[in-house]
Structure 1
Amino acid sequence: MGENMGNQPRHSGATAAADLVHDGCGRRLSDGEFDRYSRQMIVPGMGKEGQLRLINSRLLIIGAGGLGCPAGQYIAGAGVGTIGIVDSDVVETSNLHRQVGHATARIGMKKVDSLITHLRGLNPLPTYIPHPFHITSSNAADIISQYDLVMDCTDNPATRYLISDICVLLCKPLVSAASVQKSGQLIVLNCPPAPQGLVDGKYPPCYRCCFRKPPPAGSMISCGEAGIMGPVVGMMGVAQAGEAIKILASALHVPSQDSLERNLLQPTLLIYTYDLESAVGPYSFRALKMGGRKKNCFACGENSTLTLSGIKAGSPNYEQFCSVPTSSCKLPPEERITAAAYHEARERGEIPEHILIDTREKEHFSFGSIEGAVNVPFGKFLMRAAVLKRDGGSGSDILPTKPANVDAPIFVVCRRGLDSQEAVEKLKELGVDNGGRRKVIDIMGGMKAWKEEVDPTFPFI
């Protein structure tokens, strides 16, 4: 019997079990739905009522990457009725080790289309809605308002604050996760949702309540820079799906006094760590208890002035708030050199004695480097610079090597050309330029430019 024949009895003269399952508004489970979700419906706490709530729900996944792919699989498999997906990127080969909703055959395809293709193959019953663009201050409210629950599967703080602020103003629950390298975190926010300005111990927090200030800009590194283990981000995505299914099936996404009273568990930040270097105890979970809404919270607090119209008009400025690094350069032209010009000068012997510092992480450095480069990972470089500045130590102590000529120039290269600029500024602050006698120069564009301008075979990662 086909899935479109749900109103037909399975056996002549008998009433199909699916026909007895309805939501009180005329919506019944088809035979296909009954068969597909039967193992889920018999789980205590779910039942036919929970399944119908899922089918009648609308869920938005923002980000079709490492978190969104595994989350989307279980959301679709569980039978959430309408699934929206937001992402502007296309599938790349480097995505595939962790973004399990994509495939080699779909490299170059929009991620939203690729993931929907995968999810539809898993479960054709939900309605899938693609939003093939970035979520921004100007469109976030229009998109999020269409859904009952939001899953933040993005990878940058500015977008996380934006999504949370919109969810507060629209009374939408939010399941937020993040992951990088070998660790991940998960938290459920604004659930059950309450109107902006209601502050009481029983009202759950928003993202700003838990993270009032973003991490320092220099400490924020992407998966492209730091790397990511597939099972770690997969674990967080699956956990997100579990929380979302629980919320929708229990109707905790509906703002009401009853739902608030049923939300007895204290908000918790779940932290997962995967240890590649330990043979025993390869992973660990920690749960940190979080408080409720903060009275002085910028977004949901008593005197909040945050509005949807203000966000659309660009206030607050999320990039500025999070100090997102940009490619703009503060160094004067004489303190910069292109990768091609540096290579040519070396070949001509114009800079025979010099120091070349490569600030990439050691894992990046191990795949290849410019001849003569010395690896000083950027994070360790900054820590050492801070200690020397605090203790009044000699700036030359930060240098990895000391040539005979104390005025030998220093060249700094990084992965893409941002960290090296900051390293040049720090070296000058420490007096390594010997009062201007020694040149400290940034190699523009980093090792990416080296591959593009000098050596196309260089293994840039």
Structure 2
Amino acid sequence: MDKIEHLKREIAQREAELQDLRKQLAEAEAEKPSVENGRDNTTTSQSDGGGGEGWKWPLEEHEYERYSRQMIVPDFGLQGQLNIKNAKVLLVGAGGLGCPAAAYLAGAGVGTLGLVDGDAVEVSNLHRQVAHSTARVGMMKVDSAVAYLQGLNPTITYRAHATHLTPQNAEEIVSQYDLVLDCTDHPTSRYLISDICVLLSKPLVSASAFQTSGQLIVLNSPPGKGPCYRCVFPKPPPPESVIGCGEGGIVGPVVGVMGVLQALEAMKLLVRGDHRRLKKTRADGTTTEEEEEKDVKQVGMLLFSAMADVPFRTVRMRGKRKGCFACGGGDGSALTLTELKTSLDYVQFCGVNTPVKLLRPEERISVAEYERIAREKRAHVLLDVREKEHFELCSIPGSVNVPISRFTARREGAELEDLIPGGVAVLPPDAPIYVVCRVGNDSQIAARKLKDWGLDRDGERFIGDVFGGLRAWKDGVDPSLPFI
């Protein structure tokens, strides 16, 4: 294992060095004279316009070649490319959303592309986070993404912020950019990103994806005029309803679609100059601050459902919410940068989904105890309450799958035949019932309901759960279990 990890680190280091060499090669090729169509075209640095002595065009020669296919699109043109080149765009999150968004923005020629992420690449990321690779498992995501992006377009500037965005560092990081993309996956991050964008007058493109669906909305655009995230979602979802990809799952192309759409919305804002603080570069090479006020467009949320016959639909949203804590809804905001840094607790605001504590210690057994019971072939029943998709992937031998959704959906007074396949015949009268789930939360809920329904026969039959669930089983009993 040590040799494998060493080789992975070596490969990652060599790939980073290779990407740097490719960037140096691209820069060298951009500076050397080239002969094309019988004439000498000298390409020099950006400082002289990119074409050497006598070069009179606003973009460098290699940029005309690289970006020509998008510049000839109607309503894009040279001015659109100049706006993109002059822009600084920040992506918060270098995962499933951030990877495709960053790839298309880098390919389009965004002048400066920043990425914020404090996580490292894991194998479970690779089916959807397409900028990373097996060789770069263990590398910081921002460094892995930059290595990929430099291979795609080495002519632009990349900034890697290898940290999570926090109330304390948000101003320092976000203030460096013109436009922000929220590519995160948790409400705490979404509220923080929206708040700092409001305070710093940055438009925000926000997206999310889960299982086979996604949503997309453009916020605070134009700054101070459009609604913020708190206008659309004044209250966070209940913490128990927030399920991550690790538990609920995600289909790779779904999050890819949403990330590509984020890049598209960002390019629309940049090309149109829909940000009064964006510097516009004229064809003569001079720049100017865009001061004119932009009209506020009707805000709509794009909803994507991969399995629906009509996968896309748009829901019309209200504009700024009167009295909004962050943006004020036009009446002045109560939020300040000082308050954001020192007083706001986004984790507390969104709530913390604390571990379930429904059973007493004597109603729970360890994985070692259950392993001994199974090995000695004592009469018992083990109910696995994960959903069937999880159960099909891996399970403890001899367990019976009864998804937790059946427990929560059972009507009062309904027969147990409706709950457990095969009816009560699978439950020997005196056999104890053990319940297991992924980490030991749903198993407590199910065990408590079985007691409430009287299956413990007033305490004569033991009903309890396996503490720690399949995660503890893998760690303490069977390391070969492909725990999901």
Flag whether TM exceeds 0.5 (same fold).
yes
Q: CA deviation at 1:272?
A: 1.1
Q: Is the 8 A contact 1:269 1:288 kept in 2?
A: yes
| Aligned position for 1:298 | 325
CA distance in 1 between counterparts of 2:41 and 2:259 reads 45
Q: How high is the TM-score relative to the length of structure 1? A: 0.84
In angstroms, what is the RMSD of aligned CA positions?
A: 3.3
CA distance 1:379–1:319, shift in 2 (3 Å):
farther
1:2 partner SS: helix
1:260 to 269, 290, 294: 294
Task: Return the letter of the residue paired with 1:346.
Answer: A
CA distance in 1 between counterparts of 2:346 and 2:446 reads 26
CA distance 1:426–1:86, shift in 2 (3 Å):
farther
Comparing 252-261 and 136-145, the one that deviates more: 252-261
Q: CA deviation at 1:218?
A: 2.8
The reply on whether 1:417 has 2:440 as its aligned counterpart is yes
The reply on whether 1:167 has 2:197 as its aligned counterpart is yes
| Aligned position for 2:241 | 219
What does 1:187-226 correspond to in 2, within 5 Å?
Answer: 187-194=217-224, 203-226=225-248
Q: Is the 8 A contact 2:32 2:43 kept in 1?
A: no
The reply on whether 1:246 has 2:268 as its aligned counterpart is yes
The reply on whether 1:54 has 2:84 as its aligned counterpart is yes
1:443 to 466, 470, 476: 466
CA distance in 1 between counterparts of 2:397 and 2:419 reads 21
Q: Is the 8 A contact 1:251 1:259 kept in 2?
A: no
| Aligned position for 1:140 | 170
| Aligned position for 1:270 | 302
Q: CA deviation at 1:37?
A: 1.4
1:397-424 deviation line (CA, Å, top 9, x unaligned): 7566536665643322112233323434
| Aligned position for 2:22 | none
1:110 to 140, 150, 156: 140
Q: Is the 8 A contact 1:5 1:31 kept in 2?
A: no
What does 1:21-32 correspond to in 2, within 5 Å?
Answer: 28-32=58-62
CA distance 1:336–1:396, shift in 2 (3 Å):
farther
Comparing 432-441 and 210-219, the one that deviates more: 432-441
Length, aligned pairs only: 433
Q: CA deviation at 1:383?
A: 3.2
Q: CA deviation at 1:247?
A: 0.8
CA distance in 2 between counterparts of 1:213 and 1:380 reads 29
Task: Return the letter of the residue paired with 1:225.
Answer: E
CA distance in 2 between counterparts of 1:260 and 1:432 reads 66
Q: Is the 8 A contact 1:428 1:440 kept in 2?
A: yes
1:457 partner SS: coil
CA distance in 1 between counterparts of 2:107 and 2:340 reads 35
The reply on whether 1:231 has 2:257 as its aligned counterpart is no
CA distance in 2 between counterparts of 1:133 and 1:300 reads 26
1:73 partner SS: helix
Comparing 114-123 and 227-236, the one that deviates more: 227-236
| Aligned position for 1:287 | 314
Q: How high is the TM-score relative to the length of structure 2? A: 0.80
1:156 to 174, 186, 190: 186
Q: CA deviation at 1:365?
A: 0.5
1:17-76 deviation line (CA, Å, top 9, x unaligned): x98899xxx994211222211222222222222212211111111111111111110010
- Percentage identity across paired residues of the two chains: 52
Task: Return the letter of the residue paired with 2:376.
Answer: R
What does 1:36-55 correspond to in 2, within 5 Å?
Answer: 36-55=66-85
2:122 to 69, 72, 92: 92
2:303 partner SS: strand
| Aligned position for 2:369 | 341
1:129 partner SS: strand
| Aligned position for 2:286 | none
Q: Is the 8 A contact 1:395 1:431 kept in 2?
A: no
Q: Is the 8 A contact 1:180 1:227 kept in 2?
A: yes
Gaps of 5+ in 1: 195-202
Q: Is the 8 A contact 2:358 2:448 kept in 1?
A: no
Task: Return the letter of the residue paired with 2:250.
Answer: I
| Aligned position for 2:285 | none
Task: Return the letter of the residue paired with 1:149.
Answer: L
| Aligned position for 1:309 | 338
Q: CA deviation at 1:188?
A: 0.7
